[in-house]
Amino acid sequence: MSGRAASAQVLIAGNPNCGKSTLFNALSGGSAHVGNYPGVTVDRTTARVQLSAQDIELVDVPGMYSLTAGSPEEQLAINALLEGNTRAVICVVDATTLERGLYLALQLIESGVPVVVALNMMDAAERLGFRVDTERLSQLFGAPVIPVVATKRSGLDALRAALERQLGPAGGEHALDVSYPLTLEANVDDLIPAIAQWRPATPRRQLRVFALWCLLSLGDDSLRDVPEAVRKAVDDVRAAASAEGRDLDLEIISARYAWIDAALTEACSVQAAPPPLSERIDRVLTHPIVGLLAFAVVMLGIFEALFAGAEPLIGAIERLTALMQAQAQVLLPAGVLQDLVVEGIIAGVGNVVVFAPQILMLFLFIGFLEDSGYLARVAFVIDRVMKGVGLHGKAFVPLLSGFACAVPAVMATRTIERRRDRLVTMLALPLMSCSARLPVYILVVGTVFAGQSFGWFSAGAIALFSMYTLSVLVTLAAAAVIRRTVLPGPAPTFVLEMPPYRWPSARILWINAWRRLRIFLVDAGTIILAMTILLWALLSFPKSAGVTEHYAVERERVEQMALSDAEKAETLQSLDAQEASEQLANSLGGRFGHAIEPALRPIGFDWQIGVGIIGAFAAREVFISTLGVVFGIGEADEQNKPLREALRDARHADGTPVMTPLSGISLMVFFLLACQCMSTIAVVRRESGSWKWPVFLFSYMTVLAYVASLAVYQGGRLLGYG
Amino acid sequence: MKRSLADLPPGQHAEIVSIDCERRLSRRLMEMGLLPGTRVRVVRVAPLGDPIELRVRNYSLSVRRAEAAKIAVNPEGTV
């Protein structure tokens, strides 16, 4: 856009559920760019929008009810407002809940920034019998109020025109004056000197607004960068007021609502209307019996989508990865480069892309639940259960998704509003027994419990049932403990708006799910790819020249033996597998497995299982193929008979078998509890915004897994098993 | 007679008298429009007994019983 001035930044703000994202997408044509606000894990979605005379950069601010901030996340909006290059704000107000939406608009207009109020969902409001005189409302608020229906893209031209006027020289000229009580005005005057020092060269009008903001926000906040002098001044004023029996929060907020109520009496009328459709739907969906049934069906639907629905796509991606690996093996000469491409790069990209189907499915599903309004009902129905362990009702869907895969589940925690609640959920849910653990259970059960049964049930069924039960109990216990120790703080309050039911737009659902997937592929994907290559190197180097030479000689010998071609091929294949096994034993990873064997013995494992556990860090199911290599079997899956036999035949140095029912249980418990998944680490890094939390997650789960396995194995031995 | 929102049966209208809880929460509720003098109605109780759903200023809000117990109300139709 040469020749045009640098584009002005325009924020788009509004209450949660007011249709802000829909309007954002309607204005931007879906061409948004998602970044990250520095320091906090809130997506910063921006888009370039062309107006008739200029381009603007439209920034989607997280949904909020007011500018009051208690946490760094909530501070984003106010920071963005204070940024010098914010030229105007579009405040989206749901016309069906005018008063609450206008409370935010009032604060924005009060701050002196040019505002355009987009009165969204006017059609729904009219059906409910609301009549709004937008012209009168514009006069009263000193800002253009434009009726729009974002889903139908109506009113957008008028909105753009009003925005352009507000961006011009006359923008923000009018301001509104709430009449606050005189005593409060005096308190504000007391604060001005401290605030003027913090924000020099700010007009007095803004200083006043900022003083009000400090009075409401400071005191019980965790905000950064607030000068001590301002905190002290605010504390003094609040203390003096409360000594007089005054509640400053109440004074400020009631004065604003009184102003809004007065304005609406003038500009809005209500006619009798039928009870909203939502009310009738809710009579069914939150009914004590039918509601719980509906809830169970919807949750089963999510489950079905994640397990069965995503399965063919996951299979296709895995087949495609294998195909590309085979192709690379043909195209590239055998050697380190081929190995790097096949087992490092292609496997790594495969490890990333394989999550795509589940992430897309889960986010399409959650998007549907959220945009339709049912997600709030899910929280409403299940909160009673969740609050017992200190979790928010909205943590239920992410936890449940953890049964399928922790990666999309961790991403799903972003529906939880408060960062602390989100972190607790994110740190506990990797303990849910995900689908990648299942092959490990099946291998172990098939190895140590084959054909056994207790009473009516097979030993395998009992073992699997125990693992899943244990996983749920441990997850909830971990959440309760983390909430009380690592992330102490007030229990999550549950003040949740129950938005009216609306039919979600397929386009918006797709845009949002796609955006989430792209973030995963780029941010978490690079970490996963790097870790895959690192693991490959660990398990491949150093190569022992002696071993290579020995097997070259052996191969030569086989070639010259008087055998049929088929027999030769078979012998050569088993030589390959043996060589791979010896090279693995010699690699850094193999040596590391040996080195940690003394630590593994007390929980019933040997070095070979240790190498498997290291390999499993790429993904839990890799445990099995790594074991296949360790035991010199070659390609193996959990149903593989030779692998089961090799495991059964494995002996400790003293001749006792490695795999007993007891060490098998110990191994399953270890896999259930350990954070054997670098993708989870990568996605927690992305969603928590720092390495601190994934490191904590990995450490606590590893310690927990070790201690639990130790207790199982040693306890079992004391009782005479194994 | 002083009663709290948590005591009201579904369907009951009332007027808020005061909100007396932790500042973070009271400020949040007030900013969402629950102020002394505001009319509310208890819509329903969740299937498991908690939380409860309120109707206030033309929208629905759910709060836990423990929180609703801190909102003093004056039920309509009583003196």
Share of chain A above pLDDT 70, in %: 95
Tens of each residue's pLDDT in chain B, 79 residues: 578 999 999 999 999 999 998 888 899 999 999 999 999 999 999 988 889 999 999 899 999 999 999 999 999 875 4
Alpha-carbon Rg for chain B, nearest whole angstrom, is 11
Question: What pTM was estimated for this model as a whole?
Answer: 0.81
CB spacing of A100 vs B33 below 8 angstroms: yes
Residue in A216, A287, A387 closest to B64 by CB: A387
Which range of residues forms the domain containing residue B21? Answer: 3-75
Give pLDDT, residue A174: 67
Instruction: Check pLDDT > 60 for residue A181.
Output: yes
**Which residues, in sequence order, are CB contacts of A269 under 8 Å at separation 6+?**
A130, A131
Which helix (H) or strand (E) segment is A196 a member of? helix A182-198
The arithmetic mean of pLDDT across residues A674-703, rounded, is 92
Phi, psi of A595 (to 5 degrees): -60, -35
- A352-396 pLDDT per residue, tens: 888 888 888 888 888 898 888 898 898 898 888 888 888 888 888
Counting residues of chain A whose pLDDT is more than 90, the rounded percentage is 30
Q: Report, as an integer, the average pLDDT of A251-266.
A: 95
State whether A381 and B64 contact (CB < 8 Å): no
Structure tokens at A59: 């920034």
The C-alpha of A497 sits at a distance from chain B's nearest C-alpha, in angstroms, of 4
3-state helix, strand, coil in chain B (%, to 5): 20, 40, 40
Cβ contact B62–A291 (<8 Å): no
Task: Answer whether A250 sits within 8 Å of B60, measured CB to CB.
Answer: no
- The dihedrals phi and psi of B56, each to the nearest 5 degrees, come to -150, 140
ipTM tops the 0.90 cut: yes
Nearest residue on chain B to A287, alpha-carbon basis: B47
Burial status of residue A298 (CB atoms within 10 A of its CB: 0-12, 13-18, 19 or more): buried
CB-based contact A148:A154 (threshold 8 Å):
yes
Give residue A53's pLDDT.
82
Q: What pLDDT sits at residue B9?
A: 93
φ/ψ of A572, rounded to 5, equals: -60, -40
Provide the pLDDT confidence category of residue A2 given band limits of 50, 70 and 90: very low
Mean pLDDT of chain A: 86
Which residue has 């019983």 as its token pair?
Answer: B65
Is residue A103 predicted with pLDDT exceeding 80? yes
Residue in chain A nearest B48 by alpha carbon = A384
Write the DSSP symbol of residue A651. B
pLDDT, residue A714, reads: 94
Contact B61 A498 (CB under 8 A): yes
- pLDDT-wise least confident of A35-49, A54-68, A427-441: A35-49
> A380, B22: Cβ pair inside 8 Å?
no
Give how many domains chain B has, as a whole number.
1
A137 vs A278, residue with greater confidence: A137
Q: How far apart are CA A589 and CA A542, in angstroms?
A: 10
- Arithmetic mean of pLDDT, A486-505: 83
Q: What is the pLDDT of residue A169?
A: 82
For the stretch A329-362, pLDDT in tens is: 899 888 888 888 888 888 888 888 888 888 888 8
**Every domain of chain A and the residues it spans:** 8-167, 182-270, 543-581
Question: Tokens 């797709």 label which residue?
Answer: A510
A330 contacts chain B (CB < 8 A): no
Instruction: Please give the Cα distance from A301 to A646 (Å, whole number).
Output: 40
d(CA A108, CA A176): 10
Chain A residues with CB-CB distance to B63 below 8 A:
494-496
Candidates 3.40.50.1000, 1.10.3720.10, 3.40.640.10, 1.10.287.1770; CATH matching A182-270 = 1.10.287.1770
Minimal CA–CA distance to A137: which of A124, A146, A148?
Answer: A146
CA of A326: how far to CAs of A78, A347, A351, A628, in Å?
55, 11, 16, 19
Residue type at A611 in one-letter notation: V
Of A567 and A715, more confident: A715
- Alpha carbon distances (Å) from A301 to A252, A398, A442, A509: 46, 14, 25, 17
Span A570-593, pLDDT tens digits: 888 888 888 888 888 888 988 888
Tell which A residues from 465 to 504 touch B, by Cβ distance under 8 Å. Answer: 490, 493-500
Q: Residue A383 is nearest to which of B32, B46, B61, comparing CB atoms?
A: B46
Model pLDDT, residue A387: 84
Q: Give me the pLDDT at residue A528, please.
A: 83
Which is more confidently placed, A633 or A436? A436
For A187: left if phi > 0, alpha if psi spans -120 to 50, otherwise beta; the answer is alpha
Task: Give CA angle at A697 (A694, A699), nearest 5°.
Answer: 110
Q: Is the pLDDT of residue A172 over 80?
A: no
Q: Which CATH class is domain A8-167?
A: alpha beta
pLDDT tens for A593-635 read 889 989 999 999 988 888 888 888 877 877 888 888 888 776 7
The CATH number of residue B71's host domain is 2.30.30.90
Q: Strand order in B59-63's β-sheet? A: A496-498, B59-63, B52-56, B39-45, B13-19, B71-75, B3-4
How confident is the model at residue A173, as a pLDDT? Answer: 67
Give A 596-655 residues with CB within 8 A of chain B.
none
pLDDT tier, A247 (very low <50, low <70, confident <90, very high otherwise): very high
